[in-house]
Structure 1
Amino acid sequence: MEADTILRTDGLTKDFRGFRAVDGVGLTVRRGTVHALIGPNGAGKTTCFNLLTKFLPPSDGSITYKGRDITGMKPADVARLGLVRSFQISAVFGQMSVMENIRIALQRRRGHSYDFWRPQRLLEALDGEALALAESVGLAGFAATPAAQLSYGRKRALELATTLALDPEMLLLDEPMAGMGREDVERTTELIRSIARNRTILMVEHNLSVVATLSHRITVLARGKVLAEGDYATVSADPRVVEAYIGGGGHG
């Protein structure tokens, strides 16, 4: 495995009762990059993410993370190695404040239970780190605000903060811009650019302008297979990619 490769799949395949959702996917993600996984509806992107984070077992193929075969591992064990999927594992409680949500996530990283019964002063010892995380996602001014009162975009930022509390080396973002208006998209794009400075990011995203702005490399899936790969200029000019999106990509 090359020194600059952090995640790699070989022949990754997933069958569902005769339907092949992911078909022999070979993916190589370089350390320190933002790598996008794109494709029309039904291309197998979400199934791929579920395989990588071990929410689904593959039918065939292998997954290697930092030189270690993680194909047969459990989701929690993969997360402990530093490969974390955002917006799936997040601990966000609507009635709790932004600070309280982040503090709970920091407790998870320590590997203990949620410590609800611990003395308040011990929990407050995490406040400095929690506030720094809130600031890092643009929520410093909302530290005391209950999560339920946040706008949709800021809720997603809080979810990202709780994921960052686990201190992942590699972050998988599953459609981080889904449901956002333009202002939230712009804010979240800058947020992802900021957190990518010292992490590797693999993201599934439908907003192609976001993909063009953030990604170093893009893998295009269609009908479960890798259709094309390269930078945005390369894949957007590929007639097979254009056809997959406009002509025969399929939906659902």
Structure 2
Amino acid sequence: MNIALEARGLTKEFKGFVAVKDVDLTVERGSIHALIGPNGAGKTTCFNLLTKFLQPTRGTIIYEGRDITKLAPAEIAQLGMVRSFQISAVFPDLSVLQNVRVAVQRKRGESFDFWRSERKLSRFDDEARRHIDEVGLADFLHHRAVELPYGRKRALEIAATLALNPDMLLLDEPMAGMAQADVERISALIRRVAQNRTVLMVEHNLSVVASLSDRITVLARGEILAEGDYATVSRAPAVIDAYIGAGYE
């Protein structure tokens, strides 16, 4: 198996409370891997550990054969592992084009680009447009981000993430708060952008997980309950008990 991301014995304690305990996780290169579980399962904490927004109490994180356990989030992004967040992270008063162009500029690492004239920054427009086309927002090129419907804002966030040319995309609840039409649109988008990338996502919508994921890891109380394809994990007694106990159908 070609492994993109691996965690060994990943543990996070908060003043005696163990939020994530001895998690061993392997994400295969080129796959869509979902991390699911009832509320309070430790999904977000695990996600923040993998992306280094939290430092693990113990354990090791390996990305593309390199130990990244002690690296900062920005260093990990530079290696090609880029994440999105649950909360909208676009610049509301910038246009769709300008939002994605900021990401293109950031990839270059030239901080002074932000102070240059619009005319000089326009050299980034072609690349920005390619990513905007990729997520189906070509018709909204000059709309301000604040004017976009929620689902298209999420598509804009993915476009900005893609502008960093990630090899691995980590999506934190990409369907949260969406209407069904938006869920279908973003699901199709994730499937499309995953054709040449690895995707790890935290997601509550089990129908999305079932339709998109190659492999699923189920967490409960900070520990792995089950792992496998949807058919396997959905039949696991421990998983059924965890979801019924949390009020899921």
TM-score of the superposed pair, with normalisation by structure 2? 0.96
| 1:220 aligns with one of 218, 221, 224 | 218
Partner of 2:108: 110
Q: Deviations over 1:216-237 (max 9, x none)?
A: 0000001000100000000001
Shift of 1:114: 5.7
Q: How many correspondences in the alignment?
A: 248
Partner of 2:205: 207
CA distance in 1, matches of 2:19, 2:75: 25
CA distance in 2, matches of 1:62, 1:116: 37
The answer for the alignment partner of 1:136 in structure 2 is 134
Q: Deviations over 1:1-50 (max 9, x none)?
A: x6x00100000000011110000000000000000000000000000011
Alignment of 1:230-245 (within 5 A): 230-245=228-243
Q: Relative to 1, partners in 2 of residues 1:40 and 1:114: Cα closer, same or farther, differing over 3 Å?
A: farther
Shift of 1:79: 0.7
* Aligned 8 A contact 1:91 1:101 in 2: no
Give how far 1:55 is off. 0.6
Q: What is the aligned partner in structure 1 of residue 45 from structure 2?
A: 47
Per mean C-alpha deviation after superposition, the further-off stretch among 175-184 and 84-93 is 84-93
- Give the alignment of 1:51-200 within 5 angstroms: 51-87=49-85, 92-113=90-111, 115-200=113-198
Whether 2:6 is the aligned partner of 1:12: answer no
Q: Assess if the C-alpha contact under 8 Å between 1:21 and 1:47 holds in 2.
A: yes
Runs (4+) of structure 1 exceeding 6 A deviation are: none
5+ residue gaps, structure 1: none
Instruction: Show CA shifts across 1:60-83 (max 9, x none).
Output: 110000000000111100110011
Moved more, 89-98 or 65-74: 89-98
The CA distance in 2 between the partners of 1:90 and 1:114, in whole Å, is 25
Does the 8 A contact of 1:14 with 1:60 survive in 2?
yes
- Looking at structure 1, the residues matched to 194 and 172 of structure 2 have their Cα atoms a distance apart, in angstroms, of 15
Q: Identify the residue that residue 38 of structure 1 maps to in structure 2.
A: 36
Separation in structure 1 between the aligned mates of residue 127 and residue 4 of structure 2, nearest angstrom: 27
Partner Cα distance (1:156, 1:120) in 2: 25
Q: Deviations over 1:127-162 (max 9, x none)?
A: 111111111111000000000000000111111111
CA–CA distance in structure 2, aligned partners of residues 89 and 13 of structure 1: 25
- Distance across 2 between alignment mates of 1:147 and 1:76: 24
**Structure 2: which 5+ runs fail to align?**
none
Match of 1:34, as an amino acid? I
Aligned 8 A contact 2:86 2:173 in 1 = no
Residues 194-249 of structure 1: CA deviation (Å, up to 9, x unaligned) = 000000000000000000000000000010001000000000011110001002x5
Q: CA RMSD in A?
A: 1.6
